[in-house]
Amino acid sequence: MIIKNAEFTVSATSPKQYPKDDLPQIVLVGKSNVGKSSFINTMVNRKKLARTSSEPGKTRLINFYKVSIKQDAIYKAEDCNTVSQNSSNIDSPNEFYFVDLPGYGFSKMSKAQQVEVGNFIEEYLQKCPNIALILFLVDIRHNPTSNDKLMYDYIIKQNLPCIIIANKADKIAVTKVNDSVKIIQDGLNPLHDLKFMPFSSERKIYSEDLWDEILKRSLRN
């Protein structure tokens, strides 16, 4: 994947602070410390674009990162094998946002704080008109939590486009990845009607397959 540019845009605490343009937004949701910030850094090949923290529950903001990619990468994703080399748009960037929502379910939060984070996430998902795709991160090593199931139910109820990412695949043997993904899928999405994909920020594997999915869903006509 050819990343033309990736930059932090804004940390929002209310809808009035969301970006005003109509660029597609690829939204990361998941429990605290599931690896959303590391995911962003890996996908855009930057070490410190999104700040990572070893302290779960620290992020209480919605962080927006604008990403620009080369147009020729989009053509490849669309299997456009015949593109004029004289096209003036071949090197123009296609732009979208990665949106990092606060992690939920941190046990050391008070119930009031957990409710506040839940309402904050729900407000964004309800009021943002530019959501192109939800990337729902879960830990491949563990069964889905009750909060994961609540988030899944909400996404389905709102009919939001979603891929479930079984993150931290480097923490288990390669031979166990497919079985672990299936266990999570059976527990979270028994109908098997959503796409599940493994991912590892540490090993930087599976990212190209995921980029293909993102490009298909975030292209602007």
pLDDT in tens, 123-139: 999 989 899 999 999 99
Give the pLDDT score at 33: 87
d(Cα 175, Cα 173) in Å, to the nearest integer?
5
For the entire predicted model, the pTM comes to: 0.85
As separate numbers, helices (DSSP H) first and strands (DSSP E) second, the chain gives: 6, 7
Q: What percent of the chain has pLDDT over 90?
A: 53
Segment 148-194, tens digit of pLDDT: 999 999 999 999 999 999 999 999 999 999 999 999 999 998 888 88
pLDDT at 88 over 60: no
d(Cα 93, Cα 73) in Å, to the nearest integer?
9
Residue 7 near residue 63 (C-beta atoms within 8 A) = no
Residue 127 near residue 174 (C-beta atoms within 8 A) = no
Q: What percent of the chain has pLDDT over 70?
A: 82
Residue 180 near residue 166 (C-beta atoms within 8 A) = yes
Q: Say which DSSP state 51 is in.
A: P
Instruction: Look at residues 124, 11, 114 and name the one whose alpha carbon lies nearest to residue 61.
Output: 11
> Could you tell me the two tokens for 68?
């620009």
pLDDT at 8 over 50: yes
d(Cα 90, Cα 71) in Å, to the nearest integer?
5
Segment 13-29, tens digit of pLDDT: 889 999 999 999 999 99
d(Cα 208, Cα 2) in Å, to the nearest integer?
11
Lowest mean pLDDT among 38-52, 58-72, 130-144: 58-72
Give the pLDDT score at 120: 86
pLDDT at 2 over 60: yes
Segment 157-168, tens digit of pLDDT: 999 999 999 999
Give the pLDDT score at 23: 93
Give the pLDDT score at 54: 55
Give the pLDDT score at 83: 39
Q: How would you list the strands of the sheet with 93-100, edge to edge?
A: 3-12, 62-70, 93-100, 25-30, 131-139, 162-167, 195-198
Q: Which CATH number fits domain 3-218: 3.30.70.270, 2.40.50.140, 3.30.420.40, 3.40.50.300?
A: 3.40.50.300
Rounded to an integer, the average pLDDT of 42-55 is 80
Strand-pair partners of 138:
166
